[in-house]
Amino acid sequence: MNQMLDRLPGIFIYGKQGESMKRKRNLMILNTLFFLISWLTITLIADKVWAEEREELNSIIQTLRESRNRDISYMGIKIVVNYSSCQPDVKSIQIIHGPANKEKREIFSLKEKKTQVILDDGQHIWHYIPSEAFVIRKNSYVFEDVVKDLKEKEQLIEQNYKIYIEKQGQIINRNSIGIFFEPKDANRPARKIWVDREYGIPLRTEIYDLSGNLILLSTFSEIKFGSVLGNDIFSLKIPEGIPVKTFVEARYDNLAEAEKHINFKLHPLGYIPEGFTLTGITHIKVDKGERVHLLYSDGLSSLSIFQDRSVLSLSGTPLPTREVDINDKKGVLYDQGLLKILNWKLQDIYVTLIGEISEDELLKVARSILP
């Protein structure tokens, strides 16, 4: 949707820091997509492939199950290419993954010439952007919560996607198997993912837009398993004077429970795209008050609704924008290619939608949110 499923989106920084957190949010969403190819996801494929492929696939599943019972360490470099005409970019990501799912990522954007670091030390997730001179800290996800989330997504993927096994091959000299996720609904992207046969790590991911064009490519250029990693690797050296902002999050399973703890009225959706379901509610307490994040998913694609008393600032960003009408209110639509972002004010609440769906569907969702 991060384990690097942070690694779900859930934090906004306002004012001059808005653009930086937008980049973080995009990375988080991409991390969510990559992690979904776990052994739980692959298990559901076994019932969908041809009989002659099942014996071989069962062998892969067994290997993945065994790998879940032991710690895996690896180091690698991943290249992420955004082919969107409105936001083209290439990012280089150095990844160090250690025991107990500790992970450190150093991301460099070739377009922006900026670096950021995301570290999960097993207790907290740290996000450091040197050019913005601040650090964000929040709690890591509990393992049981991650497993629950994956099980829910497994069912949604089976419901909303046709799954095909493609010819096996090699990615960076690693034996891999290709999996193609074709959406049953034409209003969301398709994906191809190549998974390492031995460890179950996604080695290459391709995401296609609604017209079938490749819009995003993520692939390891090199990876080495079995590295011996010390605990000092999974620490973040923060320069003196850099402030650390801690976010307190609470998660709820349903709106009724969440509304007991929120100090403003939530505006629910009147329309939900077919196949999407509410998978999480996050209540975030920040310096300026509180924020609520409703996350909907079809198993792979996501739709996020943020509601807050403070406006999300995207000023200064070069993204293509245009004004749209939302029930006689002025909204601003930001087109990032794979992602569409829409924000507007509803009474005294600012609403932001972020979705991997078509523009028409996003507007339909927005217009269904009533006072």
Is the pLDDT at 116 greater than 60? The verdict is: yes
* pLDDT tens track for 306-348: 998 765 554 444 567 899 999 999 999 988 778 899 999 998 8
Higher-confidence residue: 311 or 227?
227
What is the number of residues in the chain? 371
| Ordered domains of the chain (ranges, CATH) | 15-234 (2.50.20.10), 248-367 (3.30.200.100)
Bridge partners for 224 per DSSP: 75
For residue 212 the two structure tokens come to 């079938």
Judged against a pLDDT cut of 80, whether residue 273 lies above it is answered with yes
Give me the pLDDT at residue 42, please. 42
> So what's the pLDDT on residue 84?
80
pLDDT(358) > 50 = yes
- For residue 261, is pLDDT > 80? yes
Locate 191 and state its tokens. Answer: 């994906």
- Secondary structure of 47-93 in HEC code, one letter for each residue: CCCCHHHHHHHHHHHHHHHHHHCCCCCEEEEEEEEECCCCCCEEEEE
pLDDT in tens, 130-180: 988 889 898 887 544 554 565 677 788 889 998 888 767 889 999 998 889
Q: What is the pLDDT of residue 100?
A: 79
Mean pLDDT (the chain, rounded):
78
Task: Record the pTM.
Answer: 0.77
* pLDDT tens track for 44-76: 444 444 444 555 545 555 555 555 555 788 999
State the pLDDT at residue 138: 87
Counting residues of the chain whose pLDDT is more than 90, the rounded percentage is 37
**Is 109 or 152 the better-scoring residue by pLDDT?**
109
Per-residue pLDDT tens for 138-149? 888 754 455 456
215 Cβ neighbours under 8 A, 6+ residues apart: 82, 83, 84, 189, 207, 208, 209, 337, 338
Going by C-beta distance under 8 Å and a sequence separation of 6 or more, which residues neighbour residue 62?
none
pLDDT of residue 48: 45
CA distance 218 to 261: 39
